[in-house]
Structure 1
């Protein structure tokens, strides 16, 4: 068979499509073809088909396709071996969700049938299996003879280049939700509310000037110089605090000497600083005298210290408790003068876990 006309047409097809863009490259495919001859003396025929083509861009493709749709001539059941060759251009429409429709147009010839060159047009669907493989299903009309055919092919891309596949994804360097290529303010602080151009919205205020914008600030009235967390609330440090009090008394007396007012003032300052604290003042005696008298004396000593704390240093009475323990809990030897002096006492011990606000 002479292919000079086909070769010339192929050259013209390639030459008319010089521009290359996305998805250009060679394609190789194989599949099944079914031919329906309009001549009633010829049996319909099936064949394996093979094609080789070049995709210029997403729209245009050219290919040469071959098959051997051997048939029989009736009457007589005469076998006819055929070689079918077609040169075609493919025009692809807009890609759908699952497939791309396309049109084909070109020329074909079947040598044993002496059909000569005839126009062939068709309509098909193409789908991507993955980035390397595709499928095609099409129907064709062979104009001069009135024959029709259907083709089903599986193909592979050979060295396809795709600008879309290799393009660098746009960045958003300051993470403000506006891509760098349209961001007029590319260095906005983290958490800023921005407009469509990537610039801070003017209403984006920090009223208490703690470094957290009002729309993110859960504590919008933080005092100046407060150390804040990401919510704009002042940080607090949890710690244990404590203070001790010890006052000694003269024998059989329940009067707080002025020498001990400084210690009571320190206790009052502690309780003022840590407003959630309460104090229990415990009174004690030595072993001199009767036990009942000593119990009453120890209670009066505790009450005397509590009275100074409340009246002199203005601690709320609801935060102060006075208790007497008599002579039952000595801390020294009651057989000595020094020991008995130590035992004539009131003591207090406050331990508290507190949250202390943090400052810059």
Structure 2
């Protein structure tokens, strides 16, 4: 990052670095930077997956902060580093407090810290619930496309869970050219299912929309099934529900019992990340004592090293990689900066002289 000054006969001396800046980017700015750019963002996420596959990332395990007095709540730290055009380090700090919903607040809230690659100084803090939902939805849309190649393309989509993530996944499917003959909706909350149906109509959905009282009916009526729940343990255990070989975007990771996964072809975003923390694939590994039920990663499919079969259900279980948050977050930072709308915090860094 710093230039090197040199004169004949003297050792090169580094130029003094400029005072680091620090910006705060609000949720409104994030949304403005990302809105309507679904195709571009799917390409951005695909590029991040390729960098991860090539080893041009650092993505340590996520760290879970849990609370004995609030067993349903958690806060997760996702540190990461990514090369390529983003060339940035950082941390997503995201909380999940399900009881917020009954109080009229979103379940999840998050911030993303971006650190300069050369100095390590944090240079931005971004509202990140939108960034997190965006990278999750872009990953799901990418998987839907890649995993449906060589198979009949789904025409009936079903959403199991109807919160923010489901809404963003629908937006990204719609924004990347998917059209469906029928849309199914199921949620344990009737109000949430009704609200999601209203959103679909407002978003311009013209296909028939069915709110299914039965989870089984939703799965059997859909050849693309999106699981976007807050379940902490499997609640779908009958492989017969999937006998029509649908493509399943298992975004919430803990809905499917091992029996369902063992009757399916299974793809993940990262093997080591996904097979931990009692995810459904982790439970399947514990049940079988091996990882033979895995067919590969999404990157394997993109690189032609693996292919989804047509004669079994295909399940994509993404743990969610911090490098995706960094890629999308750096994109937002660059867009806000280009527009001249960065909100810099003057004198955020104070002790910048070594000896005072």
Pairwise TM-score range, normalised by the shorter structure: under 0.3
More strand by share: 1
More helix by share: 2
More relative contact order, 1 or 2 (CA 8 Å, 6+ apart): 2
TM-score normalized by structure 2? 0.21
TM-score normalized by structure 1? 0.21
